[in-house]
Amino acid sequence: MSGRRIVDSRDPEDAVRLGDDGSNAWVYWYQIRNNLSHRGKGSVREREIVNEAFIDVHDVTRLLLLELVPNVADAWTVRDAHGRECRWRLRARATTT
């Protein structure tokens, strides 16, 4: 998710960029949330931005739960009808060459 940038819909000079290490993620997602309540956006691009942010927050939440909640992966395995590995709902990581 690194390298993405979001501008404040009220002030195009004010932007938040995600760091390569995920720094500024919460500020970035919060700015997306704030922009939703202001007019003047392009609907297709904004839908993509919000979609990406939802996936990001979902993935981060799942990773935190895997790390912090004992046996949560077991519960997910039981709930998964196909018996796939517990990270199955995470977006594939981009590979660098």
pLDDT in the model for residue 52: 86
The answer to whether position 69 is within a domain reads yes
97 vs 50, more confident: 50
- The total of structural domains in the chain comes to 1
pLDDT in the model for residue 95: 47
Residue 49 exposure: Cα atoms within 13 Å on the Cβ side: 19
Its pTM stands at 0.65
pLDDT digit string, tens, across residues 47-85: 888 888 888 888 888 888 989 998 887 777 766 666 565
By residue range, what is the domain housing residue 66? 5-79
Share of the chain above pLDDT 70, in %: 70
Rg (C-alpha) for the chain, rounded Å, is: 16
Q: d(Cα 81, Cα 62) in Å, to the nearest integer? A: 18
The answer to whether position 37 is within a domain reads yes
The answer to whether position 97 is within a domain reads no
DSSP calls for 67-86: HHSTTHHHHHHHH-TT---T
Q: For residue 97, name the pLDDT band (cuts at 50, 70, 90).
A: very low
The answer to whether position 92 is within a domain reads no
The answer to whether position 49 is within a domain reads yes
